[in-house]
Structure 1
Amino acid sequence: MYNFEMTRPSTIADAVNALKKEDAQALGGGQTLIPTLKQRLAMPSILVSLTAIGEMQGVCMSDAGEVCVGGATTHATVAREATAYPGLAAMAARIGDPAVRNRGTIGGSLVNNDPSACYPAAALASGASIITNSREIAADDYFQGMFTTALEEGEVVTEVRFPVPQKSHYEKFVQPASRFALVGVMVAKYADGVRVAVTGASESGVFRWTEAEAALSADFTADALGDLSLDGDGMIADLHGSGAYRAHLVKVMTGRAVKAAI
């Protein structure tokens, strides 16, 4: 590690002001940033911890019936308290290990937008709204590629609002060493149709499988996926699996997710 300053504001306004300082960076649960600092792949001079901001923590219901999760809320809290959205709670309960779940935050995951993270799939499949200190961003507009989002410099994710589906499930093929998704699929059925979001597969990061959405909106059964397939081109290929293998897993995980949701 190296020497740096650290501040721990107690309000969103104070955090935003602190992030205006030169070379300042926000710190959530630190599950990605701290290892990055240890390897000196990033070297901010000021860390602004968001963990003491009470208004960014916890789970509640909005007047519109959405599950609202504060940006500094840990995965363990989401798993425990997001009971109105069982698919989301079950997904959070399978992130990493107990140490990760009790430190990592939903905001940190969405800001980082790792191509194999679970929350991006949940947010995109749910048509969630990502709330920042200055605006509201639809999930369809928020994710813009691997490790890339619509956030601007110094913008803080303060809350995420999830419309609650009629049925949902997240199915993850776990990479056993990292506990990240080799491929993960979130399926969410709403009154006006089905949304399917895939993580861990594409070189472009999380994406919606629109062909599966159309098929499942017409017939919400795993059989509806029978004639569908994905091209392995553009899929992640590494020592854990080829692009073609990941493309195949997307269909398998989607079918399993539909069966579990039913």
Structure 2
Amino acid sequence: MYQTTYHRPASIDEAVSLFAKGSDAKYLAGGHTLLLVMKQRLAAPSDVIDIAGVKDLLGIEASGDTLTIRAATTYYDIMTNADLKKAIPVLVHLTSMLGDPAVRYRGTIGGSIANNDPAADYPAAVLALGATVKTNKRSIAADDFFKGLFTTALDDGEIITAVSFPVPAKAGYAKMRHPASRFALTGVFVAKTKAGDVRVAATGASQSGVMRVAEIEAVLKADWSPSALDQIKLPDAGMIADIHGSEAYRANLVKVMAQRAVQQAN
């Protein structure tokens, strides 16, 4: 690991100020990606700004048909929150499948979506639920936030402060887990809004990262049932092909995971 200067700001404004002063500063939340690449000497930030303890970035709030999770809230706190279990229980289910207990005690929702790993789970939830990503500067709709592999709409130095989720009528999530990392070989999140619209997002499948699946959305809007997807065949162009499976395998896995997600949706 290269030498760096560690900061622990007490506020969002202090964090932004420290970032602006650094020649190549990076924010640290859970640290599961940044610390790893620093140890491998693949990243050498001049300053590491730890925002995990900033009070304004912690907590979960339910208000009407909206549930807001602040960005530095850990996976463990998400899993154990009573309001979340009642309003959007599928987020608790999704979180329970992330990594191991050590990961869940330190990982944060803001860090996950800011990093936008192509096999991460939370981007699929944010996109399928039509959430709004709030930052220290603005609010960004989920459809406008994710821009490709490890790429988002965030400006340099911009901090995610919270994610606001509309409470769905039904939602489910299913994934095929990598046996070692527990990342999604393919994961699919399905959601039916209270207005009757359907949104479906897949992670770990596309070469472009998290994606909406319009073909499945159309079928499920007409018939919300696993069997409605029996005959659908998704195009495999642009899907990931690796040692775990071909493009065609990933395309079929999206369908199968969508069927499982609909089956367990509540």
Q: TM-score range by the shorter chain?
A: over 0.9
Q: How far off is 1:78 after superposition?
A: 1.0
Q: Which residue in the other structure is 1:133 paired with?
A: 136
Q: How far off is 1:191 after superposition?
A: 2.4
2:221 to 204, 217, 241: 217
Q: Which residue in the other structure is 1:87 paired with?
A: 90
Q: How far off is 1:233 after superposition?
A: 1.9
Tell whether 2:3 aligns with 1:14: no
Q: How far off is 1:40 after superposition?
A: 1.2
TM-score, normalization: structure 2? Answer: 0.96
Residue type matched to 2:3 in 1? N
Q: Which residue in the other structure is 1:168 paired with?
A: 171
Q: How far off is 1:52 after superposition?
A: 1.3
Alignment check: 8 A CA contact 1:165 1:189 kept: yes
Residue type matched to 2:39 in 1? K
Find the aligned partners of 2:28 and 2:16 in 1 and give their Cα distance.
12
Alignment check: 8 A CA contact 1:128 1:162 kept: yes
TM-score, normalization: structure 1? Answer: 0.97
Q: Secondary structure at the match of 2:16?
A: helix
Residue type matched to 1:148 in 2? T
Residue type matched to 1:202 in 2? S
Q: How many residues align?
A: 261
Aligned-residue identity in percent:
52
Find the aligned partners of 1:185 and 1:75 in 2 and give their Cα distance.
19
Find the aligned partners of 1:244 and 1:232 in 2 and give their Cα distance.
5
Q: How far off is 1:105 after superposition?
A: 0.6
Find the aligned partners of 2:151 and 2:178 in 1 and give their Cα distance.
23
Q: How far off is 1:90 after superposition?
A: 1.0
Tell whether 2:185 aligns with 1:177: no
Q: CA RMSD in A?
A: 1.0
Alignment check: 8 A CA contact 1:129 1:160 kept: yes
Find the aligned partners of 1:52 and 1:206 in 2 and give their Cα distance.
29
1:154 to 153, 157, 160: 157
Q: Deviation above 4 Å: which 4+ runs of structure 1?
A: none
Q: Which residue in the other structure is 1:25 paired with?
A: 26
Q: How far off is 1:226 after superposition?
A: 2.4
Q: Which residue in the other structure is 2:60 paired with?
A: 59
Alignment check: 8 A CA contact 1:79 1:91 kept: no
Q: How far off is 1:2 after superposition?
A: 2.1
Q: How far off is 1:65 after superposition?
A: 2.3
Find the aligned partners of 2:246 and 2:39 in 1 and give their Cα distance.
30
Alignment check: 8 A CA contact 2:215 2:234 kept: no
Q: How far off is 1:195 after superposition?
A: 0.8
Which sits farther off after the overlay, 185-194 or 195-204? 185-194
Structure 2 residue runs of 5 or longer lacking an equivalent are none
Alignment check: 8 A CA contact 1:75 1:102 kept: yes
Residue type matched to 1:100 in 2? V
Structure 1 residue runs of 5 or longer lacking an equivalent are none
Per-residue Cα deviation, 1:218-262 (whole angstroms, up to 9, x for no partner)? 111112212321122211111111111111100000001101116
Q: Which residue in the other structure is 1:68 paired with?
A: 68
